[in-house]
């Protein structure tokens, strides 16, 4: 298991720090946790081709943690990726990705239409991405790894319940090693 911090910045732009994102390499699988600003470029800088990841896990849906998701998905798609990308996140993730596809509907149509001229083997991105709203418990298992989620408190002090503002931490386990990744969170007994 190898961990790479792709970005550790916050919501304010900083030319020296990209938005929150962590890469966990487990065997041949690249797991991306959070998709902050600049995640696609940082993934490539880390030596991972933009077409060589299959799992994205969002801790919560603040723009600084999910704002780079469109770039991550569309960059892989534009490079003729045709394998499924799985996106996992708290309640609302499915809706967010659906809205992304609606926002870029004309671009999707254009790029699919131009394949008649370019002969690229571009699949419809909406058929390439599978989105899963998840909660606490087992999220997904790979060959030698598994990811579980736990509910955590964001800590914003607004008095919102976990139902109103869901935040997740993820635990990656592989061959006796464990790493826990959380986005914005205060102390939570579930960790």
Report the catalytic residues. 64
Backbone angles phi, psi at 183, to 5 degrees: -85, -135
Per the CB < 8 A criterion, the answer to whether 65 and 20 are in contact is yes
CA distance 140 to 148: 7
Beta-ladder partners of 168: 151
27: left (phi over 0), alpha (psi -120 to 50) or beta: left
Token pair for 134: 């998840």
CA distance 49 to 186: 34
Backbone angles phi, psi at 130, to 5 degrees: -110, 125
CA distance 180 to 168: 11
């Amino acid at each position: 298991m190898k961990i790479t911090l792709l970005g550790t910045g916050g919501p304010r732009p900083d030319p020296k720090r990209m938005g929150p994102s962590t890469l966990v390499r487990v065997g041949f699988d690249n797991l991306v946790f959070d998709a902050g600003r600049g995640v696609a470029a940082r993934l490539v800088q880390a030596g991972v081709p933009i077409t060589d990841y299959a799992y994205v896990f969002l801790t919560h849906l603040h723009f600084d943690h999910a704002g780079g998701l469109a770039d991550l998905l569309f960059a892989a798609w534009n490079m003729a990726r045709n394998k499924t990308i799985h996106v996992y996140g708290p309640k609302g993730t499915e809706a967010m990705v659906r809205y992304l596809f609606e926002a870029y509907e004309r671009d999707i149509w254009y790029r699919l239409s131009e394949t008649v001229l370019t002969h690229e083997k571009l699949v419809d991105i909406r058929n390439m991405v599978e989105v899963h709203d998840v909660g606490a418990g087992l999220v997904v298992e790979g060959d030698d790894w598994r990811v579980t989620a736990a509910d955590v408190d964001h800590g914003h002090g607004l008095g919102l319940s976990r139902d109103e503002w869901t935040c997740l931490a993820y635990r990656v386990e592989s061959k006796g090693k464990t790493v826990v990744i959380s986005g914005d969170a205060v102390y939570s007994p579930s960790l």
